[in-house]
Structure 1
Amino acid sequence: MLPKALYRQISSFPRLSRGLATHAPLSSIPASFHLKTGQTFKGRSFGSPHSVYGETVFSTSITSYTESMTDPSYRGQILVFTTPLIGNYGVPHNGAPYDSQDVGVILESQGIQCAAVVVADVAEQFSHHAAVESLASWCQRYKVPGITGVDTRAITRLLRDQGTTLGRLAVGADASLPAPDAHEYWDPSLENLVDQVSTKKPYDLNPTGSIKVAVLDFGAKANITRSLIRRGAAVTVLPWNYDFNVIRDRFDGLFLSNGPGDPAHCMEAALNLRRTLEEWNKPIFGICMGHQIIGMAAGLDAYRMTFGNRGHNQPVLALKSAGSITAGRVYVTSQNHQYALKLQDPFPQGWEPFFINCNDSSVEGIKSTSDSGKKVWGVQFHPESAGGPLDTIEMFSDFVAECKAHKLQNQDTLGMLNVASPLQRQTVPPRVAVAA
């Protein structure tokens, strides 16, 4: 124990606070959370004091609430966190460069993407060396409402029983009103959410990279481009409906990103990709929405799952070996999706299942067969994590390695074509010495 005199001296020191930190006190504004199935939960508001509709989903993630909330795949969704305490480590400044290539943000996008958040207990005080504001003030700044003081365990059990459900977060005077009628609930899956979050024009990152990779942006998390850049790729990000076939010869590989909503809204991209698969033999890799687009282009159907899979602890079983992936091994993955590809028998020619989910046996990955002459993979989970486990992060290394190998092979082929055969070479007559 400290001597009493020393303890009194330390206790008398003025308390220090970070100059950038903001500890916004929570409001006493009432809030109600309604589910379309008839249940209502009462709590208090934090963040922006306005009411919203959305699709209610839950995440089992224990940490990384900032990454989840900035993930474009959560667009239009009311995000329920199963972890009781949220906000205890605050929110970092999101404008700082993450690495030397600077993708612009240290989180997964420029701002909060979900429609609202539901937590059991939001932290009014936070502690982290990189934090600059509280979760409540961050939500208020991005005009995202939240509710705290509700039984998220009960909400989660309801969602597990009845599936993903439409909801409404009513704040202030709206909180005392009756629950909306069933026809009043807004269904975000009816809209093309991808078009809302995708880039509107192409842009380049790390232009001096050793290989050139095009990324079709369906709502790409920033850690996707970081993961490619860290492995030496020059990245060109394209709008989701950009016809890659027009410029495909400039690139060594194609990457299809994650994204929100129903893949049926992106049929234009699937049709463009079908032509790419038929005419282009360079490596292609897709995750989440990108995986579904690859499957649809290959002839598979996508369907809406009853529950969806979200969180950082989803186990998947590898059915085939490829690169860093070993058949028969279970990998723990980060996921956020409501739609999946149908497992059908037989599979389209030239394709095979790659992963299945250990919990619900849904398709978690597909790949081109070894005899197809192509290098194409699609996975439903997020190898780039952010947040979550890094069990499959080396799939990015596999993809980049295939791009480099294909580029080198093409260079060797071009080199051989440029070397003239002996019959094509012109014979240069020897010099004849002329007597002076």
Structure 2
Amino acid sequence: MKYQNRKKALILLADGTIFYGKAVGGKEGSAFGEVCFNTGMTGYQEIFTDPSYFGQLMVTTNAHIGNYGANAEEIESEGIKISGLICRNFSYHYSRPAADEALESFMNRNKLLAISDVDTRALVNYIRDNGAMNAVITTEVDNIEGLKKQLAEVPNMEGLELASKVSTKEPYFFGKENATYKISALDIGIKKNILRNLANRDCYVKVFPYNASFEEMEAFQPDGYFLSNGPGDPQPLNDAIEATKKIIASGTPLFGICLGHQIIALANGISTYKMHHGHRGINHPIMNLLTGKGEITSQNHGFAISREEAEAHPDIEITHVHLNDHTAAGIRIKDKPVFSVQYHPEASPGPHDASYLFDDFLANIKKHKLQTA
């Protein structure tokens, strides 16, 4: 077996708890971040490259990671965004003909530290009981006290603005220039499959940096606006919140996903909060209150909006609810073409039950164009 003499490694949690493992491959060092877990059985490459995971140490609950390699078509951003990987069994060899390379080589090119041979069931149970917290994964197993001091200086996710770390620096275009519809999208951590879904629906998208003003996005003369997913706490994103208020006031269709959903809530005076350990996986059950139908969805978030405040808001209707913990998973503004959800209709990875939401967005755009023609 490759790397039979792998270095010892460990996970040190902020509360002092330690879990032991082995370094993946020959990489050494330490990686800091908030430890969280994803329950998906597949889709590890999409998860690792999802900007929403920036600053997080990812625990994969599937027992085998790397067994189907890596494929250049299955990335959701430019490079890996997680801070580190924690898994049970790491597969150095893969058996999928469509793979371009081994996951190990993909991770090495992106300088990702990973540890395996961890009792991930015990670790996930600990997170579920005690909540997501900062941690470090390291091969410096004899430097526990020094690592504790470094870990104490890592900022907590609550109150942390991270969208600027993953957003585009300059505007760019996606799709066909002669498409029927134009969309201004605010990149606060956007996934490529969102852009593909819009382009596949005859949209030409201009993607703007996280701090773009409404006036900058409006200058594109879009038929609709989109607020993306992304990492960190939504509350520090004052520029995005202010721009969203103006988008809503304009009456132009608006669609938000995940962090974008939280920004729409904040723009309407609805507060957000950090969850105990969040929702991360590809089998989360949602009830669509408008249709009475259930959906199995892909989710990745550690913050949520206040359901109580949303229910009390005279202009807001809750449209979707998470069936596990009854958190608000979707809202709409009653008298405007504005809606959002706290999950990923573009999937990648995950089921496509919620892809109709892109069609709903296009329906709002078509209706608005007819009304303003």
CA contact (8 A) 1:257 1:287 kept: yes
User: Alignment partner of 1:38: what SS?
Assistant: coil
Q: 1:296, CA displacement in angstroms? A: 0.4
- Quick one: which of 301, 304, 329 aligns to 2:274? 304
Structure having the higher Rg: 1
**Residues in 2 aligned to 1:156 and 1:133: alpha-carbon distance in whole angstroms:** 29
Q: Do structure 1's residue 395 and structure 2's residue 360 form an aligned pair?
A: no
Quick one: which amino acid aligns to residue 165 of structure 1?
Answer: M
Change (3 A) 1:37 1:182: farther
CA contact (8 A) 1:36 1:182 kept: no
CA contact (8 A) 1:163 1:307 kept: yes
CA contact (8 A) 1:217 1:257 kept: yes
**Residues in 2 aligned to 1:254 and 1:347: alpha-carbon distance in whole angstroms:** 26
Q: How high is the TM-score relative to the length of structure 2?
A: 0.94
Q: How does 1:120-159 map to 2 (within 5 A)?
A: 120-159=88-127
Q: Do structure 1's residue 367 and structure 2's residue 335 form an aligned pair?
A: no
Match of 2:151 in 1: 184
Q: 1:46, CA displacement in angstroms? A: 1.5
Quick one: which amino acid aligns to residue 260 of structure 2?
Answer: G
Q: Do structure 1's residue 355 and structure 2's residue 302 form an aligned pair?
A: no
Aligned residues, how many?
Answer: 366
Q: 1:245, CA displacement in angstroms? A: 3.2
**Residues in 1 aligned to 2:237 and 2:165: alpha-carbon distance in whole angstroms:** 12
Quick one: which amino acid aligns to residue 38 of structure 1?
Answer: G
Deviations 1:112-158 (A, max 9, x none): 00000001000011011221222222211111100011100000000
Change (3 A) 1:26 1:65: farther
Q: Do structure 1's residue 45 and structure 2's residue 17 form an aligned pair?
A: no
- For structure 1, the 5+ residue unaligned runs are 1-22, 95-105, 321-325, 412-436
**Residues in 2 aligned to 1:152 and 1:336: alpha-carbon distance in whole angstroms:** 19
**Residues in 1 aligned to 2:97 and 2:2: alpha-carbon distance in whole angstroms:** 18
**Residues in 2 aligned to 1:79 and 1:275: alpha-carbon distance in whole angstroms:** 36
Q: Do structure 1's residue 194 and structure 2's residue 163 form an aligned pair?
A: yes
Match of 1:432 in 2: none
Deviations 1:209-264 (A, max 9, x none): 10001110000010000000001001000111101234426010001000000001
Q: 1:363, CA displacement in angstroms? A: 1.1
- Quick one: which of 30, 39, 61 aligns to 2:40? 61
Q: How does 1:230-245 map to 2 (within 5 A)?
A: 230-245=200-215
Name whichever of 392-401 and 114-123 sits farther off.
392-401
**Residues in 1 aligned to 2:150 and 2:217: alpha-carbon distance in whole angstroms:** 45
Change (3 A) 1:170 1:378: same
Change (3 A) 1:209 1:353: same
Provide the identity percentage: 37
Match of 1:275 in 2: 246
Match of 2:348 in 1: 386
Q: How high is the TM-score relative to the length of structure 1?
A: 0.81
- Quick one: which of 211, 214, 222 aligns to 1:251? 222
Quick one: which amino acid aligns to residue 141 of structure 2?
Answer: A
